[in-house]
Structure 1
Amino acid sequence: MRSLWVLCIFALVLTGVAHDDQKYDIGEHVPLFVDNLVPFNNPQESYRYFTLKFCKPDPLHHKSQTLGEVLQGSEKVYSGYDLRFRRDVRPARELCKASLNAEDISRFRHAIQNQYHFTWYYDEIPIKGMIGDMDHNDNCYLYTQHDFQFEYNGDRVIDARVITDAAHRVKLPEDATQLDVSFTYSSTWKDTDVVFDDRAANNANELYQEEIEIQWFSIVNSFVLVLLLTGFLAFIVMRILKKDYQRYTSLDEEEDQDETGWKLLHADVFRFPANKTLFASIIGTGLQLLMIFFIILTLSVVGVFYAYGRGTMYAAIIVVYSLTAVAAGYSSAAFYRKIEGTNWVRNVLTTVTLFALPAFLVWSVLNTVAIFYSSTVALPFGTIIALFALYFLVTFPLTLAGAIAGKNFGGSLDAPCRTKLAPREIPPAPWYRGPIVHVAVAGFLPFSAIYVELYYVFISLWGHQLFTPYGILYLVFVILLMVTACITVSLTYLQLSMENHEWWWTALTSGGATSFFIYAYCFYFLYSESKMSGFFQVSYYFGYMLLICYALFLMLGTVGFLCSFVFVKQIYRSIKCD
């Protein structure tokens, strides 16, 4: 456990999670940084601020970026605003005069029609605002004055906002070829009792109370489902063990075999699965992803990440992924040893690329799309080289080191029954007990337990609403794991009762089946709950959701199999095996 938190602290140091803790003197200049322009309905489709003809400093000075800011597509540039700590700007002051030609006007009109909004940063506090608005006749208006409202406590900035109104805007005629615009600004400062340590929570977007109530009501329902499933499973196990002890005290073995089909599989139930290398790699990678998820979510729950630092979280995920590669290598190799695998080189290569390679392919396609659209979310060449260096100099060596340790210290399978050389023939089963129905049931029940919460998760990932109650997300994921484990174990028992000993891959696929339903939900959310549009945004949406669902498949599949494995070993320990 201590090593786990050492990894967390190291990751946070590398990603620069700590936000600015700046103190200012009265009258000291506090720089305002302008960031990207983003269509309101397409939050991943960000563009450089000065693609529109705002007041542009000469020369441009970019703020140094952290890895998280680069991953988020942020590109902060010093603005020309002269805003000083606790000094009001009254009356409004002119920033610059701009002469717009037909192309400039057309770009502004397009941005206003698509509800582009800007993001500025003042002492690392994000300030969001709209470029302009439209009236009921679809006339476009550009806001020309920004009124800043600041709050302070002692020598620190607590809050920052910008106000725009219809009194300070200019009409952008569709057929205009020339337009002169004067951009102005003002500022006011107000004292507040909010302390600096609470400013992130004070500024964070909060969910509506009725939405919180819906979430907690759904979580209560989910916990009831978990209790019912757990009780059902416990009833099955106790009933099995009770009958085992009763029947195996008698000498009538033939009657025992006629009544209980799963006992007939004691010589085949621990027969190793096909494609041992891939199977062991899935187990190792799934455990690694589970570790990453709980590390990041735990740090979010305790408030380590700055409320607006979503990019910092992205960077932390990448660094923690690299550092936990040793766990993936060890888990994969240890399990590979248990199932008597022999191709260790293939095991290491499969483990280190099982998630990284699909992630690279998805990113390559989407990064190409971003470059084509000249979006800021396209990673610069230097960052790409740094990520490759992190992978080959940290991730791969740690995976190899973990695999060596797993190979040498992994232990044996310790199966309670010996496996015969010739596999037992599997009797035919009706269609409703086939693998497709099996997997469908295994995926649908856990999905139904988290269906309501998915909406809030999706609007956080693909909208502008920040999902602040990470504790709810934590509970939802725990519920998902518990329901997945219960359902997979129950279905594994049913499969063994039908004298089908090929349960290894079925248990793994059944555990991960929920990810298929979540990806299907992506289509419903896009067309029914969101207003995302355009090839750029839709490709990002489906591409990264495919990657997220793939990660969920690996995690849930691992949980489903390992729980089934423990269950199978336990029930076969209770019977007499030759």
Structure 2
Amino acid sequence: MARGSLALKLGVSFTSSSLLLLLLAYHSCSFYLPGVAPQDFSTGAELKVKVNKLTSTKTQLPYSYYSLPYCPPEHIVDSAENLGEVLRGDRIENSPYVFQMREPLQCKVLCRRTLNAKTAKEFKERIDDDYRVNMILDNLPLVVPIRRSDQENAVVYQHGFHVGLKGQYAGSEDLKHFIHNHLTFTVKYHKDSQLDLARIVGFEVKPFSVKHQYDGEWKNENMRLTTCDPHARRAVTSSDSPQVIEDKKDVIFTYDVAFEESDVKWASRWDTYLLMADDQIHWFSVVNSLMIVLFLSGMVAMIMLRTLYRDISKYNQLETQEEAQEETGWKLVHGDVFRPPTNSDLLCVYVGTGVQFFGMILVTMIFAALGFLSPSNRGGLMTAMLFLWVFMGLFAGYASARLYKMFKGTQWEKITLKTAFMFPSIVFAIFFVLNALIWGEKSSGAVPFGTMFALVFLWFGISVPLVFTGSYIGFKKPAIEDPVKTNKIPRQIPEQACCAARTTFGGGGLT
């Protein structure tokens, strides 16, 4: 007995120790919920900025960053992209912007580009369409802080900076285009209290349009500029002499980098991007509206269920006296409401597709509420919706087959083919035509051939077999019985004169 208790104590002790070790290991290797692990940077560590697509609020066509003649690196490398990013038109590539952690830079020259008629026209078109440049540092998008005039010390953020601006300058009546060729970056970091490590919690920029000047002839990127010189401590603080976009004009691209310590922790760095305009969420109003809707819906549902249950019980008890009973209103058609419609096959397909939609939206909302579809995981939402739609084909086939058997159908293979191909084929045809038009505009939103093949594989390789599997399972189930007996002879519907129908209530019923 003593040996048994000793063994039990050792087993409990060993289990507790193992559980404690597992918890410690999990805590030491814990990661951010969306699946992006935090990265610590020491002083002087290299920070690489990536560029993303050019977007606009006036047009829905995104373009690649290097579709404009910006300064490219030695070798342009595409970052790994998921399916959702490709469908959204994201094109994440490397850039010549390279920082060192907590080492400020001032007036760093990237390159000098000479515009021609074509490149000047491209810049002007992007400025007219209000396009913005998007960049990424440590998976954090670049934002432009804008102070609100109605509230003191209130700041809102704009994703990306504008390619340029359009306006008048130096008393000229003509509107001219100016390019933002100088960027002042601000990298916010949260420093560890014990170690000399930091995590990036903010990435901001202030764009300027500056016509840079230099002495002598241009040699290389190490030239000293008179308008922006770190040795003379001359920094760009305004756009007093903006850079005009014209043919045969030289544009010098420069940037500054400043580092600012922040109290914001890494886990909360996305809160600033997701805040509402008034910096609060009206939770009480949301909960109050939700409770009122649920209460009213429950009351209406209870009244309808009690009424229908009483009527259905009455109909089932008086099946033999149907001709003798006097009925009024909608109760006259109780024996015809469960009659199969004319296009019952089409209704089954619609119901199956609706179940597929509902399942996809429900699971997506659950994952989004749990934080798995965080905005830090770009393309995660679209990827999740696409895969959930594919796998929900099992429930689509099941629902359509059950309803089809309820309508006394026998050819379940036919209804399965319609469920698997009708809606997806229409969507794919529209998608293919739109993609061809976007590809003709040379937009980054055009889906490449490899991605198109992957979508077809998901459709035919996963969705269609799952629809057939669900239909087979659903058709093997017993047919759903109608709660009310259906009359063999349909009731005649009296013809109504157009625009002259009258509704009278009385002993004669509804006429």
Verify the 8 A CA contact 1:147 1:162 in the aligned structure 2: yes
Is 1:208 the counterpart of 2:277 in the alignment?
yes
Structure 1 unmatched ranges of 5 or more: 1-15, 435-496, 500-578
The amino acid across from 1:197 in the alignment is A
**5 Å matches for 1:251-400?**
257-309=325-377, 311-400=379-468
Does residue 160 (structure 1) correspond to residue 241 (structure 2)? The answer is no
Instruction: Tell me if structure 1 keeps the 8 A contact 2:352–2:399.
Output: yes
Cα shift at 1:431 = 6.2
Aligned to 2:68: 52
SS of the residue 2:115 aligns to:
strand
Alignment check: 8 A CA contact 1:326 1:402 kept: yes
* Deviations 1:85-134 (CA, angstroms, capped at 9, x unpaired): 22211x22111111112222222222222221110111111111112222
Deviation at 1:229, TM superposition (A): 6.1
Which structure has more helix as a fraction of its residues? 1
Counterpart of 2:264 (choices 194, 209, 215) is 194
> For the Cα contact (< 8 Å) 1:323–1:394, is it kept in 2?
yes
**1:61 aligned onto 2:77:** yes
Partner residue of 1:510? none
Match of 2:47 among 12, 30, 46: 30
- The alpha-carbon deviation at position 281 of structure 1 amounts to 1.8
Q: Which residue of 1 aligns with 2:181?
A: 144
Instruction: Give the whole-Å Cα distance in 1 for the aligned partners of 2:140 and 2:316.
Output: 71
Q: Which runs of 5+ in 2 are unaligned?
A: 1-32, 143-159, 191-196, 210-237, 502-508
| Equivalent residue number for residue 119 of structure 1 | 134
How far apart are the structure 1 equivalents of 2:350 and 2:287? 29
**Correspondent of 2:120 among 89, 95, 105:** 105
| 1:422 equivalenced with 2:422 (yes/no) | no
Q: Deviations over 1:309-338 (max 9, x none)?
A: 452211111111111111111111122122
Contact 1:33 1:78 in 2 (8 A): yes
Report the structure, 1 or 2, having the larger strand content. Answer: 2
TM-score (norm 1): 0.65
| 3-state SS of paired residue (1:341) | coil
Cα distance in 2 for partners of 1:352, 1:112 equals 45
CA contact (8 A) 1:35 1:48 kept: yes
Q: Quote the Cα distance in structure 2 between the aligned partners of 1:168 and 1:308.
A: 33
Deviations along 1:324-355, one digit per CA (max 9) or x if unpaired, are: 11111111112212221112121111111233
Q: Distance in 2 between matches of 1:406 and 1:433?
A: 46
Equivalent residue for 1:132, pick from 155, 164, 168: 164
TM-score in terms of structure 2 length:
0.73
Describe the SS at the equivalent of 1:83: strand
Asked if the contact 1:39–1:117 (Cα under 8 Å) also holds between the matched residues in 2, the reply is yes
- Please tell me whether residue 413 in structure 1 is matched to residue 491 in structure 2: no
- The amino acid across from 1:198 in the alignment is S
Query: Deviation of residue 168 (structure 1)?
Result: 4.8
Question: 1: distance between equivalents of 2:103 and 2:498?
Answer: 76
Report deviation, 1:364. 1.2
Local SS of the residue matching 1:194: coil
CA RMSD of aligned residues (A): 3.4
Residue equivalent to 1:185: 255
Q: CA deviation at 1:216?
A: 7.3
The aligned counterpart of 2:149 is: none
User: How far apart, in 2, do the equivalents of 1:433 and 1:227 lie?
Assistant: 39
Give, in angstroms, the shift of residue 165 of structure 1: 3.4
User: Are the structure 2 counterparts of residues 374 and 247 from structure 1 closer, same or farther at C-alpha, using a change threshold of 3 Å?
Assistant: closer
1:40 aligns with 2:57: yes
- Go from structure 1 to structure 2 and tell me whether the alpha carbon gap of 1:17 and 1:354 turns closer, same or farther (over 3 Å shift): farther
The aligned counterpart of 2:13 is none
Q: Distance in 1 between matches of 2:439 and 2:139?
A: 27
Q: How far 1:184 moved relative to its partner? A: 0.7
Per the alignment, residue 516 of structure 1 pairs with: none
Offset at 1:60? 1.6
Specify the code of the residue in structure 2 equivalent to 1:149: T
Q: Secondary structure at the match of 1:352?
A: helix
In the alignment, is residue 95 of structure 1 matched against residue 110 of structure 2? yes
CA distance in 1, matches of 2:369, 2:408: 41
Equivalences, count: 416
Contact 1:329 1:351 survives alignment (8 Å): yes
Contact kept, 8 Å, 1:144 with 1:169, in 2: the verdict is no
> For the residues of structure 2 that align with 1:305 and 1:383, how far apart are their CA atoms?
22
Q: Verify the 8 A CA contact 1:20 1:124 in the aligned structure 2.
A: no
SS at match of 1:209: coil
Change over 3 Å in CA distance of 1:411–1:265 after alignment to 2: same
Instruction: Work out the CA distance in 2 between the residues paired with 1:246 and 1:330.
Output: 33
Deviations 1:254-288 (A, max 9, x none): 99843424444343332112222221121122111
SS in 2 for 1:187: strand
Cα distance change of structure 1 residues 155 and 498 upon mapping to structure 2, 3 Å threshold: farther
1:410-489 paired onto structure 2 within 5 Å:
410-428=477-495
Contact 2:402 2:480 (C-alpha < 8 Å) held by counterparts: no
Partners of 2:499 and 2:300 in 1: CA distance: 21
Specify the SS of the correspondent of 2:485: coil
SS at match of 1:164: strand
Distance change in 2, residues 1:205/1:328 (3 Å): same
Distance 1:303 1:232, change over 3 A: closer
Measure how far apart 1:68 and its partner are: 1.8
State the alpha-carbon separation in 2 of the partners of residues 218 and 79 from structure 1: 44
